[in-house]
Chain A
Amino acid sequence: MVELSYNLYLLLSAILFTIGAIGVITRRNGIIIFMCIELMLNSANLAFISATGIHKSLEGMIFVFFIMTVAAAEAAVGLAIFVMIFRLKGTISIDQMNLLRG
């Protein structure tokens, strides 16, 4: 039996990224769009971890660590913004988010 190749990990990463991107395009609920963005960040993390094996260096894991930090900060601030929009408009649908329209 042939050994597991890194290409499969990269292919899985591409599949997850595509699912997340389709979710961002088709859904109207702000929080689900936010979750799809988290999924896309995770697929990038998977590509970084497999690059760690490809290049035989640990730097990819450092990148993943920083991506996780930024994702945590982003989730905190983004969800606070969603709570504020819900207080203002009573809904979270992104069709209603047209405050900045001139």
Chain B
Amino acid sequence: MLAIVFKWIIFLIASLFAIFSAVMMVTRRNPVHSALWLVVTFISLAVLYFLLNATFIAISQVIVYAGAIMMLFLFVIMLIHLEREPEDIGRLGAFKILAIVLTLLLFIEVALGVYYYEVGTLKPGSIPYGDAKSVGSLLYTKYFFPFEIASILLLIGIVGAVVLAKRRKG
């Protein structure tokens, strides 16, 4: 009983934090503030992954997303002085309002689908425990070839970034 209440409290706090910081991320004018609110979203999503027994994914969420990717974003924002760039966020044209309405319709559709989708509740012990051992043993046996392909993709990403950002002479 106590565990259920605890799970509810953690879920509510983490999900409200995620939604609030995502809204703040979209609405902030300064890109540095946006990036920092996105870090808050990533960390609260990591808390939700812990709640779903996905400990390995939660840790790599903090390391890869909140650590590596957002640091890259902040570096680029500060490198090209984006925080001083003016932007007209206030003006909403008819096209934008139509697009927002269509997106909200998509959300209502997905929410109805979720509402009528009969899935089970979270029973203790029924979730597979996704620690580094179980995920790694699946990754290195059944999904070994995609894993290697992913490493080649990362290598190509590094080479591509260096080639693109290199200052050309002449």
Residues of chain A whose beta carbon lies under 8 Å from any beta carbon of chain B: 1-12, 14-23, 25-29, 31-32, 34-36, 38-39, 42, 45-46, 49-50, 52-54, 56-59, 61-62, 64-66, 68-77, 79-84, 86, 91-93
B106 to chain A, nearest CB (A): 7
Chain A residues lying within 8 Å of B89, measured Cβ to Cβ, are 26-28
Q: Is B165 a contact partner of A8 (Cβ separation < 8 A)?
A: no
Q: How many residues of B contact A (CB 8 A)?
A: 83
Chain A residues lying within 8 Å of B4, measured Cβ to Cβ, are 1, 3-4
Q: Is B103 a contact partner of A18 (Cβ separation < 8 A)?
A: yes
Q: Is A45 a contact partner of B26 (Cβ separation < 8 A)?
A: no
Counting chain B CB atoms within 10 Å of each CB, the highest count among A20, A52, A65 belongs to A65
Q: Is A1 a contact partner of B1 (Cβ separation < 8 A)?
A: yes
- 18 cross-chain CB contacts under 8 A: A1-B1, A2-B121, A4-B8, A6-B122, A8-B15, A15-B19, A15-B107, A27-B89, A29-B85, A52-B127, A52-B130, A53-B122, A62-B135, A62-B138, A71-B69, A72-B64, A72-B157, A73-B157
A86 to chain B, nearest CB (A): 5
Chain B 142-167 interface mask (CB, 8 Å, partner A; 1/0):
01001000100110111011101100
In the complex where A1-B1, A31-B76 touch, is A49 in contact with B165 (Cβ < 8 A)? Answer: no
A65 to chain B, nearest CB (A): 7
B residues 101-136 touching A (CB-CB < 8 Å): 103-104, 106-107, 110-111, 114-115, 117, 119-123, 126-128, 130, 134-135
Residues of chain B whose beta carbon lies under 8 Å from any beta carbon of chain A: 1, 4-5, 7-8, 11, 15, 18-19, 22-23, 25-26, 31, 34-35, 38, 41-42, 45, 48-49, 52-54, 56-57, 60-61, 64-65, 68-69, 72-73, 76-77, 79-80, 82, 85, 87-89, 92, 96, 99-100, 103-104, 106-107, 110-111, 114-115, 117, 119-123, 126-128, 130, 134-135, 138-139, 143, 146, 150, 153-154, 156-158, 160-162, 164-165
In the complex where A29-B85, A72-B154, A83-B80 touch, is A3 in contact with B65 (Cβ < 8 A)? Answer: no
Overall SS of chain A's interface: helix
